[in-house]
Structure 1
Amino acid sequence: MKALVVLNKIVFVLLTQLFNGCLYSQSIQISDSLGTLIQQDGITPEEKSRLLSLRAYHLQDIDSSLIFAKEALAIAQEIESPLLEAAAWEEISHVERRLGNNNTSLQASLSALAIYETLGLTEEQAASFGQLASNSISDGDYNSAITYLNKARKIYETSDTNGNQILTILNLGETFRLAGKLDSAEVYFKETLTRNELVNNDIVQGYTLGNLGMVYTSQNKFQQAKDHLNEAIKILEPINDPYSTSVYLAELGSIHKKESNLTMAEHKLLEALDMAKTAGLKEQIRDFSKSLSDLYRTSDDYEKAFAYLELNKIYQDSLLNKESIRQIEQLKAGYEIDKRETQIGLLHTINTNQRNTVIILVIGVLILLVLAFLLVRSIKTIKMANNDLALREKEKALLLKELNHRVKNNLQMISSLLNLHSRELSGHPAQEAVLTGRNRVEALSLVHSKLYLEGLETRIYLKDYIEDLVLGLFHGYGVKFKPSFDIVNVSLSIDTVIPVALIINEIVVNSLKYAYQGIPNPILNIRVKKTANILELAISDNGIGFSTQEIEKENSFGIKLITSLIEQLEGNVERISEQGTRWEMKLKAA
C-alpha cells in the first residue's frame, strides 16, 4: 500500500534519554510538581529555565510543551547560560518534530549541537546527533541518518552514563528497516531485545517489538508481525504514546487488508486515525486517510473513498512547502560553515606561522587558477552559458509549479463562490446554470491540482485524473452506483487534458441529470485508448437516450462546447442513441 510506505517514515522515534519505564500518570504528577516549584518565590533564573525545560519534557500536551520550552530558551539566552540554552533547544527540536515541523526541528538540533561542541560535552553531542538522524529520517535521507547514529554510537561505546547506547542500536535497526534493508534491521532489533533483558525498559521493549513486527510484515510473516505489534501496543498504550501506537495500529490494518479481512482492517485504520486526530499529528492524519481511501476503493465504497481522499488532500496541502528542502540544505550548510570557521580560528590561535604558510599557498593556487582560467576561458564561457540556461529552465519550472498551485487555489475559490450563489438561487431557473459552471471550474481545478502535486512536469496521467473527476461528479450529484473504467494509463500534455476533461464533464453530467429516470440498474462506462497520437474516447450509458427534440436542439451550450472542444483537438464525434446513449470520439492527442 503506497500510503503505508510513506507512513513507515513517521515510525522513527529517537529518544535522547532513558525513561526507565515512566508511565503516563507519573508524567502528569511530575509535571504538576514542576509547575508548583516554578511558581515559588525566590527561584533563580537558572533554576526556572531548568524547571521549564523539564516540565516541557514531561508534558503530554504538545502545544503547551512547546510554549514552556521556548520560555526556558528565552531565560537561558537572557542570563547567557549556554548549557541551559542547549537543553531548551533540544526540547524544542523534539516537540517541533512531533508536530511535523521538520525544518524548525533541524534548526533547533543544529543550535544545540554547536553549543555542545563548543563546551566539549560528548554525550550531549551524541544526543544531538540522534535528533539530526531523526530529521534525516523524516526527509527520507537514510544514509545521513545512519552516519549520525554511528557517530552517536561511537561516543556511547566509551561514555554512556544514561544508557543511551541501546536506544541508538534500536534506531539503527529502524533506519535500516525504512531503507528496505530488512535483514540488517532484524539483526539490530534482536540485539536491542537481548540488551534490554538487562535494562528491562518497557518503552525500549515496546518500540523494538513494534518495529520488528513491521519488519515481519514486509517479509510477509503476518502472524509473527501481528503478535509483535499487539504486544507493542499493549506496552505503549498505557504510557499514552499516540505517535507510535497509532502507527502500529495502522500497520495491523495493513496486514488485515493483505489477508482480505477488510472489516478488521477498517476497524484498525479508523482507530489509528482517531488517535492521530486527538493528538494533532498532521502527517499521520494525512497517511491514515489515504490508507482508508484505498481500503474503501478496494471494497467499492466510492463515497467513503472520495471523502477520505479529500481529507488526505487537505493535510497534504498543509504539509507541502516548496521552500522547506532549500531551507534545510541552507541550515546544514550554515552549520558546516560555522564549524569550519571555528576550526580555522583555532588553527590561527595555535600557530600564526601556519596561517602565513596557508596564505602563501593560497596565493600560489590563485595564480595557477588565473593562468588556467586564461587557457580555458572560451570553454568555461560555453559551460557557463549552458549552466545559466539550465538554471533558467529550473526557475521556470518552479515558477510553473507555483503558478499551478495559485491557479488551483483561485479556481477552488471561484467554485466555492458559485456553490454559495447556487444555494441563494434555490428554485430559480438560473441555479442549474450556476451549478453547471461550477462543475466546469472543478474540472479545470483538478488539472492544476494534479500538476502541482505530481512535480514540475506539464503532463498528467490520464487514468487517475479521469477516475478522480468522474468520482467527484458522482459524489457531488449523490449518485450511488459505481461507474466502470477502462482507461489506458498514458500521460498527456495540459493542452490536451483540459479539453478532454471538459468534454467528459459535459457528457457525464448530462447522463447523471437526465439519463437514468426510471432506469432500475443504471450503468456508465468510460473507455479510453491511445493509438499513436490518436486518443479514442467512448462514454456510454443505458439511460433513456436523446429524444427527437433534444437531437434537434444542437444549439444548446453544452453541445456547442463539446463540438468546439472536439474541433480544437482536430477530432470527430459520433453519437449513438440505441438502448441508451453512446459517444464515440477520436481526438488528436499530444
Structure 2
Amino acid sequence: MAYKEMSFPDDSTHFEYLHQIFVKHRNPNTRIEFAGIAIRLSKENNNEDWLFRALLNIGYANKLKGDLDQALEALFKSLKYVDASREYSREASAYNAIASVYRLQGNYRLALQYYQKGIGIYKVHKDTLGQATLLMNSGESYRLNKQLDSSLIAFKLSKTLFSIKEHRTGLAYNHGNIGLVYAEQGQNDLAEENINEAIGILKGLGDTYAISVYDTYMADIYKDKGDYERALEYANRSHKQAVKGGFKEQIRDASLKLSELYNDLREYERAFEFQSQYIVYRDSINNEETIRKMADLRTEYEVSQKQAEVDLLSVQKRNQQIIGVGLTIVTILVGVLAFMFYKNSKQRQHTNYILSEQKEEIETQRDQLDELNQSKDKFFSIISHDLRGPVHAFKGMSRLIKMYIDQNCIDELVELNEHFDHSVDQLSTLLDDLLDWAVSQQGKVPYSPGMVNLHDLSKDIMGLFNNMAQAKKISLTTHIPEDIQLWVDSNSLRTILRNLVNNALKFTGEGGFVTLSAEKDDGMAAVHVADTGRGIPQEELKGLFKLAGHKRSWGTEGEKGLGLGLQLVYSFSEMNGGSITVDSEEGVGTTFTIHMPLFKGVLTSEVVGS
C-alpha cells in the first residue's frame, strides 16, 4: 500500500509512523520529505513537541547532505519549542546537532561551545549516555582541530561510559574515533585494530555512513604502509557508500583521498577526475553564502534569546513590585499582632519559659567550656612532663658521652647510643603527634582528597613496622584486595593507619598477631586493624577518642603513649567522611574498624555523522 493510501486511527499514531521513517531512514532526502509531512501534521494539531522532533531531524538530514545553512535554520527553530517540551534531553539534543553543523563547517570553537552546553545539561540530570555521546562528539572536534591529546582523553572517557551502559553503537564509534586519533599520531597498528573493530560492529548495525568515514582512514593507513592496492580498495568502497547514501561531506573526503592515491600511482587522469569532484563538493559545503547565512542564523537566535531574557526580567521586576507591596502589608499586620501578643499575659509567661530554657543551655555550655579548659590544662601539664623526661635524659647522656670519651670506653658508648636512639624516637613520636593534633584542632589540616589504592598504601605502612614487629616476634600480616580504591586524603589516611598499627604492636605481647584487612561494605571500605594484645577495659572504651581525663598508657615493653594518636585517628576519619569503631576484650585482643568512602568514577560524547 502506498503511503498516501494509508489511514491511521488518530494523528498521534500517524506522527509516530512518520517519526520512525525520518529518524531511521538512511537517505537524507527521504528523511526530509517525511519530516516535512510531520511538520504539517504538527501545525494542524498545534503540537510543539512534534514540531521540535521534526525540525531537529530536518537539521540532521540537511547536515548529512552538506546543506549547512538549511540545517542550522531548522535546528535554531527547534530550540524555540524546547521549553514547551519540558524535557531536558530536547535542549541538549538541539545543542548537539548545532555543534555538529559548526564542526562540519570547521568552526571548532563554536562546536565545542555548544557541545559543552549539552554536556552540562546531561551532567545535571545524571544522564550517562547523553554525556558519553556529547563527550565523543567533543573528542571528534578536538581531533579535527589537531588537538589530539584532548581528543584521546574525551574518546576514552566516553568509551568508559558506553561500556558501563553496554551501548554497542557508542562503543563502535568510540573504537573507530580512537583509531582515527592513533592514525594521525602515526600509530598505524593501533589505528587499524580499533577501526576494524568499529567496522565489524557497524556492519551488523547497517551504519554505512560511519563505515564510509572509517574506510577513508583505513585507506590512509595502507597508503602509509605502501600497500596502494588495499588503500584504493578502502577508498573506492568509501566513495561508493557515500554516493549511494548522498553524504556530501564523505563524498568530498573520499574524492580527495582517491585523488591523492591515483596521483601517487601517476594515474594523473583519474587523479584529476577525483580532484575536480572534491573541489565541487568542498565548495558546495563551504561557500561564502552558506557561511554568511549560518552566521546570520546564529545572530538571530542569540538576539531572540536576549529579548526573551529581557521580557523575563520585566516580568520578574513586576512580580517583585507586587511581592514588595504584599510584604509591606504583611509586615504591618505582623506588627499589630505582635503588639497584641505583647499585651497578652500568656505570651509573657511563654517568653519567660523560653528565657529560662536559654539560661539553662548557656549554663550547660559554660560547664562544657570549663571541662574543656580543664582538659586543655591537664593536657599541657602532661606534655610538659613528658617533654622534660627525654630532655633531662639527653642532658645526662651528654655528660656520660663526655666521660666515656675521656675514658675511651667504646663499648659503653655503643650501649648508650641505643638508649639515645630510643629517647630520640620517643621524643620524635610525641612531637609528631602533638603537632598533628594541634593542627587538626585549629581546622588547618590540608585536605586534598583523591583516588588512593588501599592495597599499595597498606604495603608502605606495614613496611614501616616490620622491624618493630620482628623485634617483638609478632606476626604482622595484611589481607587487602587489590581492587579497593578510596576517595580520601592520602596523608591523613597514612596517619590513621600508622597510629592504629603502632598501637596494635605496642600493646601486643611477644608471639602475638597483628592483622590489617579490608572489604567493601555498602559503598564504603571497612578497614580493620586487629591484634591479640591485652585488650581495653570496658570503662575506658567510652571515652577512648576524647582528650579528657588521664590517658597515659604503657605498652608490653614499657612503650609510653598519651592518647594523642587515637585523637588524630578520630579527627582524620571524620575529616575524610568516614567513621571509626572499636571492639575489644581484655586478655583477648582489640579490633579497630574505620569506614572510608570508596572511589566512584563518574564519567560523560558525537558519534561520527550525528
TM-score by length of 1: 0.52
Aligned pair in 2 of structure 1 residues 353, 161: CA closer, same or farther (>3 Å)? closer
Greater RCO structure (CA 8 Å; 6+ sep): 2
For 1:136 and 1:252, the matched residues in 2 are separated by 25
For 2:5 and 2:299, the matched residues in 1 are separated by 38
Cα offset, 1:129, TM superposition: 0.8
For 1:58 and 1:119, the matched residues in 2 are separated by 22
Q: Which of 13, 22, 27 is the equivalent residue of 1:56?
A: 22
* Same amino acid, percent of matched pairs: 27
Aligned pair in 2 of structure 1 residues 354, 337: CA closer, same or farther (>3 Å)? farther
Aligned pair in 2 of structure 1 residues 134, 320: CA closer, same or farther (>3 Å)? closer
Match of 2:104 in 1: 138
Are 1:101 and 2:67 an aligned pair? yes
Native 8 Å contact 2:105 2:285 kept in 1: no
Match of 2:183 in 1: 217
> Any idea what the Cα deviations from partners look like across 1:495-528, whole Å, max 9, x if unmatched?
xxxxxxxxxxxxxxxxxxxxxxxxxxxxxxxxxx
Match of 2:137 in 1: 171
Native 8 Å contact 2:175 2:195 kept in 1: yes
Aligned pair in 2 of structure 1 residues 204, 159: CA closer, same or farther (>3 Å)? same
Aligned pair in 2 of structure 1 residues 135, 110: CA closer, same or farther (>3 Å)? same
For 2:8 and 2:17, the matched residues in 1 are separated by 14
For 2:131 and 2:319, the matched residues in 1 are separated by 42
Letter in structure 1 aligned against 2:289: E
Structure ID, larger Rg:
2
For 1:345 and 1:98, the matched residues in 2 are separated by 36
Native 8 Å contact 1:273 1:288 kept in 2: yes
Aligned pair in 2 of structure 1 residues 96, 85: CA closer, same or farther (>3 Å)? same
For 1:301 and 1:323, the matched residues in 2 are separated by 35
For 1:150 and 1:222, the matched residues in 2 are separated by 31
For 2:5 and 2:135, the matched residues in 1 are separated by 36
Aligned pair in 2 of structure 1 residues 36, 305: CA closer, same or farther (>3 Å)? closer
Match of 1:331 in 2: 297
Q: Secondary structure at the match of 2:106?
A: coil
For 1:36 and 1:311, the matched residues in 2 are separated by 36
Counterparts of residues 14-413 of structure 1 (less than 5 Å): 39-43=6-10, 45-117=11-83, 120-160=86-126, 163-319=129-285, 321-352=287-318
> Any idea what the Cα deviations from partners look like across 1:427-469, whole Å, max 9, x if unmatched?
xxxxxxxxxxxxxxxxxxxxxxxxxxxxxxxxxxxxxxxxxxx
For 2:319 and 2:152, the matched residues in 1 are separated by 53
Native 8 Å contact 2:39 2:55 kept in 1: yes
Cα offset, 1:258, TM superposition: 1.5
> Any idea what the Cα deviations from partners look like across 1:222-257, whole Å, max 9, x if unmatched?
100011111111111222212111110110101111
For 2:279 and 2:114, the matched residues in 1 are separated by 33
Letter in structure 2 aligned against 1:39: M
For 1:77 and 1:231, the matched residues in 2 are separated by 44
Cα offset, 1:332, TM superposition: 0.5
Q: Which runs of 4+ in 1 moved over 6 A?
A: 35-38
Native 8 Å contact 1:133 1:146 kept in 2: yes
For 2:146 and 2:165, the matched residues in 1 are separated by 29
For 1:73 and 1:283, the matched residues in 2 are separated by 26
For 2:312 and 2:290, the matched residues in 1 are separated by 33
Q: Secondary structure at the match of 1:351?
A: helix
Structure 2 unmatched ranges of 5 or more: 322-610
Aligned pair in 2 of structure 1 residues 178, 316: CA closer, same or farther (>3 Å)? closer
Cα offset, 1:325, TM superposition: 1.0
For 1:69 and 1:235, the matched residues in 2 are separated by 29
For 2:31 and 2:165, the matched residues in 1 are separated by 28
Native 8 Å contact 1:142 1:175 kept in 2: yes
Native 8 Å contact 2:42 2:51 kept in 1: yes
Aligned pair in 2 of structure 1 residues 165, 218: CA closer, same or farther (>3 Å)? same
Structure 1 unmatched ranges of 5 or more: 1-31, 356-590
Match of 1:415 in 2: none
Q: Secondary structure at the match of 1:323?
A: helix
Count of matched residue positions in the alignment of Structure 1 and Structure 2: 321
For 1:223 and 1:338, the matched residues in 2 are separated by 50
Native 8 Å contact 2:248 2:281 kept in 1: yes
Cα offset, 1:50, TM superposition: 3.5
Aligned pair in 2 of structure 1 residues 331, 36: CA closer, same or farther (>3 Å)? closer
Aligned pair in 2 of structure 1 residues 197, 320: CA closer, same or farther (>3 Å)? closer
Native 8 Å contact 2:129 2:161 kept in 1: no
For 1:38 and 1:126, the matched residues in 2 are separated by 37
> Any idea what the Cα deviations from partners look like across 1:12-49, whole Å, max 9, x if unmatched?
xxxxxxxxxxxxxxxxxxxx9xx999934432x34422
Task: Provide the alpha-carbon RMSD of the alignment.
Answer: 2.4
Native 8 Å contact 1:109 1:128 kept in 2: yes
Native 8 Å contact 1:50 1:84 kept in 2: no
Native 8 Å contact 1:123 1:160 kept in 2: no
TM-score by length of 2: 0.50
Cα offset, 1:95, TM superposition: 1.2
